[in-house]
Amino acid sequence: MNRNDFIKSTALSIGALATLPIMSSQEKLANQSTNTASPLQKQTPKIVKHKEGLLLNVLGDQQNIKLTAKDTNGQYTLIVQYNDPGIGIPAHVHDNEDEVFQVLEGEVAMSIGEKTSTLTAGDLIFCPRGIPHSWKVIGDQKAKAILSIFPAGLEQMFMALAELPPGPPNMELVSKICAQHGVHFV
C-alpha cells in the first residue's frame, strides 16, 4: 500500500471511530455485566473501624474478620489476627483458596512446603492453594497479622470452628469441619 492509500484508509477508519458512541467506565462495566454469564453485583463501600468486625476464637487463633464474601462480592476475605506467643495452626492444605499473610507486629514462623522462615513486621508470604503451610507466633510478644484469602468464603469454616466448645479441640471433628470447606491437615 502506498502512502496516499494508507492515509486515506487511516482517515476513513478514524472517521468511522468518531461516529461510535463514547461510553464512560461505568457504562462499559454496566454493558459488560449485561453481556456476561455472571454479572458483577454493585458493591457498597464499607468502613470497618479498628475494633469493629466479627471477633472469633478459632482454636486459639484470635481473629477479627473485617471483610467477608458478602462485602467483596466473593472476591476475598480479610482477617486481622492478634495472637500470643505459641499460638499457631498446624500444616494444612487448601483445595480452593490462596492466602496472603502479612505480619504487622511481632514474629511468626511460617512454613510453606519444605521451607520455614521467620516473618517480622512488614514481611508477607503468599501461600498458593495446594501447597502445605503452617504458622506459629514465636518470640516473647504478641503478633498481629493480616490474612487475605482469595476467593472469599472460608470465613464460614472459621465461624463453625469458633462454635466448638472450649478446651482441647476434638481434632477428628475439627478435621471433618475443615474438610467440608476443602482444607486438609497434613
Q: What pLDDT is recorded for position 17?
A: 41
Q: Is residue 97 part of a domain?
A: yes
Residue 104 in this model has a pLDDT that exceeds 60: yes
Residue 26 in this model has a pLDDT that exceeds 80: no
Residue 27 in this model has a pLDDT that exceeds 80: no
Q: What pLDDT is recorded for position 144?
A: 98
Q: What pLDDT is recorded for position 4?
A: 54
Range of the domain at 134: 54-185
Q: What is the pLDDT of residues 39-96, one digit of tens each?
A: 567 889 999 999 999 999 999 999 999 999 999 999 999 999 999 999 999 999 999 9
Q: What is the pLDDT of residues 91-100, one digit of tens each?
A: 999 999 999 9
Looking at the 3D structure of the chain, how many domains does it have? 1
Taking the C-alpha atoms of residue 111 and residue 127, their distance in angstroms, rounded to an integer, is: 10
Taking the C-alpha atoms of residue 9 and residue 91, their distance in angstroms, rounded to an integer, is: 63
The domain that contains 145 carries what CATH number?
A: 2.60.120.10
Q: Is residue 32 part of a domain?
A: no
Q: What is the pLDDT of residues 80-92, one digit of tens each?
A: 999 999 999 999 9
- pTM score of the predicted model: 0.78
Taking the C-alpha atoms of residue 96 and residue 154, their distance in angstroms, rounded to an integer, is: 9
Close Cβ partners of 81 (under 8 Å, ≥ 6 residues apart):
61, 62, 63, 64, 143, 144, 145, 146, 147
Taking the C-alpha atoms of residue 37 and residue 32, their distance in angstroms, rounded to an integer, is: 10
Q: Is residue 73 part of a domain?
A: yes
